[in-house]
Amino acid sequence: MHLYTHSSCLRHSAGPGHPESPARLQAVLEALDQDRFAMLDRIEATRASYEQLARVHSPELIALVHTAAPTQGYAQLDADTAMSPDSLEAALRAAGAVCAAVDALIDGSATRAFCAVRPPGHHATHATPMGFCLFNNIAVGAAHALARGIERVAIVDFDVHHGNGTQDIFWRDPRVLYASTHQSPLYPGTGAEDETGAGNIVNAPLPPASSSFAFREICRDLILPAVARFRPQLVLISAGFDAHYLDPLANLNLGAPDYDWITRELVDIARKHAHGRVASSLEGGYSLTALRQSVAAHVAALMD
């Protein structure tokens, strides 16, 4: 199994006190620096190319992210989203990591991959960076898979926030299934059940304070059957861990065993339809304790 990351992802900063901090990725890498993860093939993420980015983002968004990065201090793109001098490099490497993972899975050098990268991506729409996100890493990777000849890509997003950007990008593209479970109401305010795109969008909102039982039930009843019916040739995961009960930015009650469970369920579907191919990319998760526990459970399940 491949692990993609890059040192620039540790240097990107959105400002002092911002919840999307370098400490998040440091916690993830510490969690994976255990004997049971010694077999991970650790690979430096490459940069996404302009062509890869332009498959999902407007020229204006790409230009904005390239030109807004300051030489010192911070550049504020919106109330939540800022760039530091290292942010452009980090964003290019984060999107590039998912493309490299997709290549490895298609070319057969790996069956599973985890991209330990930041900034996260799933709020970035076709035309707007937002919600801590600059480029939509998982969408860039999915579009790259389509360009490589994959006909059906399933993206499963279990971040506590709805991936409005991913939904926006693939709203009318039946080659991509986007299936999300998330807290509602909560930022960004999208992800209602009746948002179905071209029949390829599946939203499973959960009310605040929902339990592990409710999460697993809605996955069994809605998310997993939809993914299985789609018969994906590649499974991608927007792996946010902020539905954990310790997370300070939301109010769901999942624990590390839930991330183990949903990962194993998705791997089973991938085995049946996608030659076992699963690539996952880090999204949210703002309790460092929860991140360590959850990422370890998720990656261990991918490895198994």
**Burial (CB count within 10 angstroms: exposed 0-12, middle 13-18, buried 19+), residue 222:** middle
- The pair of structure tokens assigned to 152 is 């059906």
- The pair of structure tokens assigned to 246 is 């310790």
Give the orientation angle of helix 22-31 with respect to helix 288-303, to 10 degrees. Answer: 40
Q: What is the dihedral of CA 139, 203, 132, 171, to 10 degrees?
A: 40
Q: Is the torsion defined by CA of 183, 184, 188, 190 positive or negative?
A: positive
**Active site includes 122?**
no
Kindly provide the b/e burial profile for residues 102-111, where b requires at least 16 CB atoms within 10 angstroms of the residue's own CB.
bbbbbeeebb
Q: Which of 122, 123, 144, 162 is catalytic?
A: 123
**Catalytic residue positions, numbered:** 123
